[in-house]
């Protein structure tokens, strides 16, 4: 292990620094519920939960130490909690649909991850470029930070679910819904082209999150039947499984890119394929409603 006093200096602006143009929608209950639905517990929370997270390969310990920087921001830790690390990553991803890290090299071919501010960060001709906000330019003594893009690891929403751009648009639309208890109106009275009549209704919210599924924690069955309610909840389980498998795949690509012989595996939880098979059975009437939600719970 290296000297714990050794300092690894990041190059890019920290994710902990941002300016007022970053829209967080933190006061929106609809946005908060969606973010939590897509992130909380999509990985097992501890060794006592159903499912298991493991790392295999010759460089298992180096991979664990790299992941440990997600949790503590400190490379020099004795024990890494994989469950905590991966759940932290899923939470950051759900926040705005994208998260970026600078890959910091430490001695003996080992690496750490440093969170980068999304503000003003873009890729251009093989380089990662970050515009430094005006209030930090005197401190950084520069207006642009430029480094080859292989020094940056970016995780975005899986396109199988939706693009990062569309996810951000969805968050913005949900943040515009101000009522805590959306109205329910009969389908015969729907007027989708009239925002005054249609907006802030449960049906409007369902249509907005249709690709994801879920009911935004509503358990009322006004104007929908039990089948539709269960179908939407199982569809949300599919979305959570897609995000989980996407994060694992991208982390394994990261290990490969830094030269690690290591692989993350998650077992004991339903896969995307398993859940999609259940959805097909449900639509065909080949399975009942009893137990299907628990059988597909991520």
Decide if 20 is inside a domain.
Answer: no
Give the pLDDT confidence score for residue 20 in this predicted structure: 42
pLDDT class for 205, splitting at 50, 70, 90?
Answer: confident
| Bridging pattern class, strands 110-116 and 121-124 | unpaired
Mean pLDDT to the nearest integer, 246-264: 96
Decide if 6 is inside a domain.
Answer: no
Q: What is this structure's pTM?
A: 0.85
Q: The domain containing residue 151 runs over which residues?
A: 29-295
Give the pLDDT confidence score for residue 241 in this predicted structure: 94
pLDDT class for 258, splitting at 50, 70, 90?
Answer: very high
Q: What values do phi and psi take at 183, rounded to 5?
A: -70, 155
In percent, the amount of the chain with pLDDT more than 90 equals 37
Give the pLDDT confidence score for residue 170 in this predicted structure: 93
Decide if 1 is inside a domain.
Answer: no
Decide if 48 is inside a domain.
Answer: yes
Decide if 231 is inside a domain.
Answer: yes
Mean pLDDT of the chain: 81
Place of tokens 């873009």: 122
Give the pLDDT confidence score for residue 250 in this predicted structure: 97
Closest Cα partner for 101 from 109, 110, 112, 90? 112
Give the chain's domain count.
1
Decide if 9 is inside a domain.
Answer: no
Give the pLDDT confidence score for residue 184 in this predicted structure: 55
Give the pLDDT confidence score for residue 63 in this predicted structure: 93
Decide if 15 is inside a domain.
Answer: no
Decide if 170 is inside a domain.
Answer: yes
Instruction: Inform me whether the pLDDT recorded for 234 exceeds 70.
Output: yes
Give the pLDDT confidence score for residue 200 in this predicted structure: 53
DSSP letters along the chain, please? ---TT------SPBTT---TT----TT-HHHHHHHHHHHTTSS-SSTTSSSEEEEESTTHHHHHHHHHHHHHS-S--S---HHHHHHHHHHHHHHHSEEEEEEEEETTTEEEEEEE--TTEEEETTEEEEEPPGGGHHHHT-SEEEEEGGGEEEEE--TTT--HHHHHHHHHHHHT---SS-B---GGG--TT-HHHHTTBHHHHHHHTTTT---TT----TTS-HHHHHHHHHHHHHHHHHHHHHHHHHHHHHHHHTT---EEEEESS--HHHHHHHHHHHHHT-S-STTHHHHT--
Can you list the pairs that 28-34 forms with residues at least 24 positions away whose Cβ atoms lie under 8 Å?
A: 28/174, 28/175, 28/177, 29/180, 30/174, 30/175, 30/177, 30/205, 30/216, 31/171, 31/174, 31/175, 33/216, 33/217, 34/94, 34/170, 34/171, 34/174, 34/209, 34/212, 34/214, 34/216
* pLDDT tens track for 20-78: 434 578 788 889 999 999 998 888 777 677 788 899 999 999 999 899 888 765 554 45
Count of CA atoms in the C-beta half-sphere (13 A) of 120: 20
Give the pLDDT confidence score for residue 182 in this predicted structure: 54
């Amino acid at each position: 292990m290296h000297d714990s006093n050794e300092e690894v200096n990041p190059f890019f602006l920290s994710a902990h620094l941002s300016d007022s143009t970053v829209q967080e929608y933190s006061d929106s209950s609809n946005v908060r519920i969606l973010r939590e639905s897509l992130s909380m517990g999509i990985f097992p929370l501890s060794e006592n939960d159903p499912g298991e997270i493991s790392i295999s390969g010759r460089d298992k310990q180096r991979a664990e130490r790299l992941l440990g920087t997600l949790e503590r921001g400190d490379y020099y830790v004795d024990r890494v909690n994989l469950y905590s690390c991966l759940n932290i990553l899923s939470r950051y991803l759900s926040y705005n649909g994208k998260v970026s890290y600078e890959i910091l090299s430490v001695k003996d071919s080992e690496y750490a991850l440093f969170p980068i501010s999304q503000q003003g960060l873009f890729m251009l001709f093989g380089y990662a470029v970050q515009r430094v906000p005006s209030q930090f330019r005197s401190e950084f003594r520069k207006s642009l930070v430029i480094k080859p893009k292989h020094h940056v690891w970016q995780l975005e929403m899986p396109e199988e679910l939706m693009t990062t751009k569309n996810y951000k648009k969805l968050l913005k639309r949900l943040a515009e819904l101000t009522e805590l208890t959306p109205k329910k109106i009969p389908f015969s009275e729907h007027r989708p082209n009239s925002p005054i009549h249609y907006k802030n209704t449960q049906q409007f919210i369902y249509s907005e999150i249709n690709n994801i599924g879920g009911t935004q924690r509503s358990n009322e069955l006004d104007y929908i039947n039990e089948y539709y309610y269960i179908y939407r909840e199982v569809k949300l389980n599919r979305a959570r499984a897609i995000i989980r498998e996407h994060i694992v795949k991208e982390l394994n690509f990261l290990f490969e890119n830094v030269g690690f012989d290591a692989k993350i595996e998650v077992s004991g939880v339903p896969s995307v394929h398993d859940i999609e098979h259940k959805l097909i059975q449900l639509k065909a009437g080949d399975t009942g409603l009893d137990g299907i939600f628990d059988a597909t719970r991520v």
